[in-house]
Amino acid sequence: MKSPKRIYIAGHNGMVGSAIKRKLINSGVELILRDRNELDLTNQKEVETFLRKETPDEVYLAAAKVGGIHSNNSYPADFIYQNLMIQTNIINGSFLAGVKKLLFLGSSCIYPKLSSQPMKEELLLSGYLESTNEPYAIAKIAGIKLCESYNRQYGESHKIDYRSVMPTNLFGIGDNYHPENSHVIPGLIQRFYRAKISKDPFVSVWGTGSVSREFLYVDDMADASIFVMNLDHKIYKEHTDPMVGHVNVGFGSDVTIKDLAKLVSNVVGYDGEIVFDTSKPDGTPKKLLDSSKIKLMGWNPSISLEDGLKLTYQDYENNNKSLRS
């Protein structure tokens, strides 16, 4: 009887990693999982020892230090150092342990601030990055290039296949709701929820509200990740290039922050005023991925922004019943 495929998910407690775990847990595979207190991913020796011992068949590299504009601005050294160390240790450690298949999860912030829209994979390294998250973006670019470089040097000789997917802005179950370090959707959900409970007359939102963002529900991202990991090598190579080996994963349309705020307030049930604080930064003017490659490969998202927000808010509300009056 054939042994089940052994899969290591790095970052299985994070939003994306936990979604991948939910998708794989009943699929007949054996999952290899380690909490932060069991394995320090920034420690090269620990990671190499762990991977050599476990010898997984596949690795999903979803572990990362993440945060919003405020967090990226406040802790740039932490963001670049920790992400570089995590990625390098896992990718090189996987190679040394004989892992043939790996999927690296990046971020759409890898593209230049003033990229043409929608952003194609080929725009990588074609201009200046958004300054507020440049350290994080550089780390993610390095992760892509690590995968490409290992494929170019060892793909034929060692039969490795290390792939990269670049998600747009993600949201969903398991997101970070820290009042200062969260991304836009969880930040809006927790502010509108607290304002509803406290009956506050208005909620302040950073920026002008005029910038646009694309959002993808995290379960769709997990589905896309598993799709790309399992895609036939020939098909993947047909749609990528040795020097542009990553694939965008987006919903296909964007929304202004102003319209997003209205949508979130409606889902939460907050009927007060929304005030935009124009003294705060907007960030990149527009971020919309060109996801035509993955769609040509055969994958499409299935969860709309509104439906995803309802599922996310339901999860948030269930976990915050103590705030109700």
Q: So which residues are the catalytic ones?
A: 136
Alpha-helical regions (H) of the chain: 15-24, 44-54, 69-74, 76-96, 134-158, 184-198, 218-230, 233-239, 257-268, 292-297, 305-318
* Cα–Cα distance for residue pair 29/26, rounded to 1 Å: 7
Are 62 and 17 in contact by the 8 Å Cβ rule? The answer is yes
* Cα–Cα distance for residue pair 279/284, rounded to 1 Å: 15
